[in-house]
Structure 1
Amino acid sequence: MKVANGVDMLEIGFEAFGRSAAIYPTLIWDEKEAVLVDTGMPGQFPQILEAINNAGVPFEKLKAVILTHQDLDHVGSLPEVIKSSTNPITVYAHELDKPYIEGERPLIKSDPAKMSREEWNVLPEPVKHLYENPPKSKVDETIRNGQELPYFGGIQVIHTPGHTAGHVSLYLKQSKTLLAGDGLIAIDGSLKGPVKQTTLDLKTAVHSLKKLLDYDIESVICYHGGLCNENVKEQIKFLVEQRDEAVFIMR
């Protein structure tokens, strides 16, 4: 789905616990090159390739991958993307998530050593195999808060920890589009805050939302839920105020 000139939201469908779901990596491109933000689950490379082609962008244009964080559904097809490219692919990620992406440490949320025997035993065998053999790939360049990557008029890095320590969001200056990763989700076109069950540090994740208010955002692409492009700033401000109040009450 075209969000702006040179910005395509890729819909990658899959089955989860007997239900259909989708994730939304983003392709950013111009006449010379393309950048992919997040790479789906292991085994989803054929769908990603098809989505890139459907956007009218030759896969050969892909020059970089930016990972918003280390989770399996974001890094899963990265090795296949790199292996399938005839050109060198530069991989970007925050330094706090780098050791997990590179396989120096197990992915935090899918580490068998952190699961009880009961939790492990109920997992399907294919999932167990994934958890025991997670994808890993070299991170070529680490990114930091406030850094501007020199693609397509500037991609601003916003360090938004909480979901993971190295979670980042990305602001596309030309189109005023925010790629929120898992820092926000969208439900029926409306923004919702971080999901408690999958967020490592909810208080920090809520605090990270405040950073987004510094940007002139017209559209948000959420990895889970897709596009929101109505009253974006007002929605984010509301979430910050509501979550601040909730955190205060919890104290």
Structure 2
Amino acid sequence: MKIVELPIEFEFNGEKNYIYPTLIVLNDELTLVDTGYPGFLPLIEKEMIKNGYKMKNLKTIIITHYDDDHIGSLHDFKKKYPWIYIIASETESKFISGEMKSERLIQAEKLLESMQNDEKKFGHWFIQQLKNLRHVSIDEKVHDGDMILDNKCRIVGTPGHTSGHISLYFLSLKSVITGDAAVNENRKLVIANPQFCLNVEKAEQSLSKIKNLNAETYYCFHGGKLTYH
């Protein structure tokens, strides 16, 4: 088993940006963690193929949480590869499937009310971005402590950024896939976008929780992997 980082380069507001979804390779079967923004399926496919992997071997997608940069292309993946098995936490599943209005959309609509006029354009765009996300049903709803992927991966409940956020711990690889429970900033693990955290106190506790796993490698969706030797 191994974890492969997939650096995805894109432009936003005229600036070069990166996100880092991850691929888990286990017995020739592939598991993708998070799917990038809407329209990112071709970018992720290209990166996977560049690394020598075949899309027909993509069997599972794990979603760490409901945010447009993490679930944006989930519907596209499911449509193109209908056999894909989708895993998310029970809480986030409700938002991804459309069973409940997402926390992020509620937060964005609330923030819009207090925004200055020059910020409102972005606020409206972001709300529309969230409303445009296509709902997808979840095949397996997981909780803190659950074991998946042939018992090689432990679900770590890391609420704060969103209430049902999960990270993934691989004891045999001494590795954690953090989602947005941690970002790599100047070779330090910090919480992601504190101003958008739904609960900063819980986000800090979750960050401590994954740091206390004492992993050697942390795969951060933002900032890329951080390795301790």
Q: Which amino acid aligns with 2:138?
A: V
In 1, distance between residues paired with 2:204 and 2:190? 11
Partner of 1:38: 34
Residue in 1 that maps onto 2:172? 174
What is residue 149 of structure 2 aligned with on the other side?
150
On the 8 A contact 1:163/1:201 being kept in 2, the answer is yes
Q: Does 1:91 align with 2:86?
A: yes
**Match of 2:18?**
22
Closer, same or farther in 2 for the Cα pair 1:97/1:230, shift >3 Å? same
* Offset from partner CA, 1:20-73 (integer Å, 9 cap, x none): 111111001134311000000000110011011112110110111111111111
* Gap regions ≥5 residues in structure 1: 232-251
Q: How does 1:124-163 map to 2 (within 5 A)?
A: 127=126, 129-151=128-150, 154-163=152-161
User: Could you tell which deviates more after superposition, 108-117 or 142-151?
Assistant: 108-117
Distance 1:209 1:125, change over 3 A: closer
User: Does the residue aligned with 2:104 lie in a helix, a strand or coil?
Assistant: helix
TM-score calculated relative to the size of structure 2: 0.89
Q: Which amino acid letter does the alignment assign opposite residue 218 of structure 1?
A: E
State the AA in 2 paired with 1:105. M
Aligned match for 2:101, one of 93, 103, 106: 106
Larger radius of gyration, structure 1 or 2?
1
Following TM superposition, by how much is the alpha carbon of 1:193 offset from its aligned partner in structure 2, in angstroms? 3.1
TM-score under structure 1 length normalisation: 0.81
Same amino acid, percent of matched pairs = 31
SS in 2 for 1:70: coil
In the alignment, is the contact (CA less than 8 A) between 1:71 and 1:107 conserved in 2? no
Q: Classify 1:125/1:191 alpha carbon distance in 2 versus 1 (closer, same or farther; 3 Å).
A: closer
Who is 1:165 aligned against? 163
Matches within 5 A, 1:1-251: 6-85=2-81, 88-111=83-106, 113-114=109-110, 115-116=112-113, 118=117, 121-123=120-122, 127=126, 129-151=128-150, 154-230=152-228
RMSD: 2.3
d(CA) in 2 for partners of 1:21 and 1:109?
22
Counterpart residue identity of residue 222, structure 1 = C
Structure 2 counterpart SS, 1:122? helix
- Between stretches 112-121 and 36-45, larger displacement belongs to 112-121
Are the equivalent residues in 2 in contact too, given 1:72–1:107 (CA < 8 A)?
no
Shift of 1:88: 1.2
Q: 1:88 to 1:38 in 2, by over 3 A?
A: same
Summarize the Cα distance change of 1:225–1:171 in structure 2 as closer, same or farther, 3 Å threshold.
same
Q: Which amino acid counterpart does residue 144 of structure 2 have in structure 1?
A: N
Counterpart-to-counterpart distance in 2, 1:122 and 1:194: 23
Distance, in Å, in 2 between the alignment partners of 1:127 and 1:205 is: 22
Question: 1-side partners of 2:194 and 2:126: how far apart?
Answer: 22
Partner SS state of residue 96, structure 1: helix
Name the SS for the 1:57 alignment partner. Answer: coil
Q: In the TM superposition, what is the alpha-carbon distance from 1:106 to its structure 2 partner?
A: 3.1
Relative to structure 1, is the Cα distance of residues 62 and 18 closer, same or farther in structure 2, using a 3 angstrom cutoff?
A: same
Cα distance in 1 for partners of 2:130, 2:207 equals 30
Measured against aligned partners, the alpha-carbon deviations of 1:85-134 in whole angstroms (never above 9, x if no partner) come to: 1x511111111111111122333224564332848841398656423322
